[in-house]
Amino acid sequence: MVPKSYKTKEFDLSGLTGISDKTLEMHFKLYDGYVKETNRLNEKIAETLKDGKVDHEEMPAYSELTRRLGFEYNGMVLHEYYFGNLRRKGEPEPEKSSSFRKAAEQSFGSFETWKTDFASVGKMRGVGWAICFEDLENGRLSNHWITLHEVGNVAGFKPILVMDVWEHAFLLDYKPAERPKYIDAFFANLDWKAVERRLRAADRVSRAA
Ligand SMILES: [Fe+2]
């Protein structure tokens, strides 16, 4: 059954390396705000649609609510991907035989080059996200910079590995200029099995190898 609204998901992540419980507690609250705001926008839009039309007078407010969907939906979903690819006692690298490693090698030449690219995207100035996407058409991986939450996502591509590089993700633990240290901490807590499960073209990639 299609749910009427979105529910805030729970993530058990206390005790990470280099990302404090205090940061996580604050970050979960921010994420919860995106879920609530997504639901609120949908309710407001549904109210407007109740009489079966969008009046000329309603159009400015309706347009603003609809434009904000991109920010709130992506703010909700990207945080779920981000928390979902972290774990206590993470592994620094994916297994040698993993489909992710194979896809990274085929897309970038080597896992190390993929990692350099992904971490470098994360170090770009500005607030946003570094995201490794999979092109579901051919299994190719590419790393992208997402400004805020909604600018730069590729339509139809699937997020495989998501790193939040807004300052709220690390400012309680590191200075603003220490983002590279946070990126190291992110990699120290990575759940590569979760990343592997997201890869849709796993079969195709291993067949081609
Ligand atoms: Fe965040």
Task: Tell me what percent of the residues of the chain surpass a pLDDT of 70.
Answer: 96
Both tokens of 174, joined, read 């590191």
Q: How far is the CA of 27 from the centre of ligand 1 (A)?
A: 6
Ligand 1 centre to CA of 31 (Å) is 7
> Separation of 80 CA from ligand 1 center, angstroms?
10
Place of tokens 């400015």: 60
pLDDT at position 208 is 52
Distance between Cα 38 and ligand 1 center (Å): 15
Residue 19, pLDDT > 80, answer yes
What are the Cα distances from residue 63, in Å, to 41, 54, 56? 11, 10, 11
d(CA 167, ligand 1 centre) in Å: 8
Measured in Å, residue 188 CA sits from the centre of ligand 1 at 18
Would the pTM count as exceeding 0.85? yes
Residue 200: the pLDDT is 84
Ligand 1 centre and the CA of 204: distance in Å?
A: 33
| Structure-derived torsion over alpha carbons of residues 79, 80, 84, 85, reported in degrees to the nearest 10 | -40
Contact 41, 65 (CB under 8 A): yes
Q: What is the mean pLDDT of residues 122-141?
A: 96
- CA–centroid distance, residue 125 to ligand 1 (Å): 16
Instruction: State how far the Cα of 199 lies from the Cα of 160, in Å rounded to an integer.
Output: 6
Structure tokens at 14: 């206390």
What gap in Å lies between CA 26 and CA 100, rounded to an integer? 31
Distance between CA atoms of 80 and 100, rounded to whole angstroms? 20
Give distance in angstroms: CA of 12 to centre of ligand 1: 16
- Read off the pLDDT band of 201 (50, 70, 90): low
Q: How far apart are CA 2 and CA 10, in angstroms?
A: 20
**pLDDT above 90 as % of the chain:** 92
- Where residue 204 falls among pLDDT bands split at 50, 70, 90? low
- Interval between CA 169 and ligand 1 midpoint (Å): 6
- Report pLDDT for 202: 47
Is residue 128 within 8 Å of 148, Cβ to Cβ? yes
pLDDT (average), residues 154-162: 97
How far is Cα 187 from Cα 182, in angstroms, rounded to an integer?
A: 9
Give the pLDDT confidence of 69-125 residue by residue, as tens digits.
999 999 999 999 999 999 999 988 999 999 999 999 999 999 999 999 999 999 999
Q: How far is the CA of 97 from the centre of ligand 1 (A)?
A: 32
Q: What is the distance in A from the centroid of ligand 1 to the CA of 74?
A: 11
Rounded to whole angstroms, the Cα distance separating 169 from 94 reads 23
Residue 206 has pLDDT above 90, yes or no: no
Strands (DSSP E) found in the chain: 128-134, 141-147, 158-164
Q: How far is the CA of 79 from the centre of ligand 1 (A)?
A: 6
Residue 64 C-alpha to ligand 1 middle, in angstroms?
23
**25 has pLDDT over 90:** yes
> Quick one: tokens of 166?
């807004």
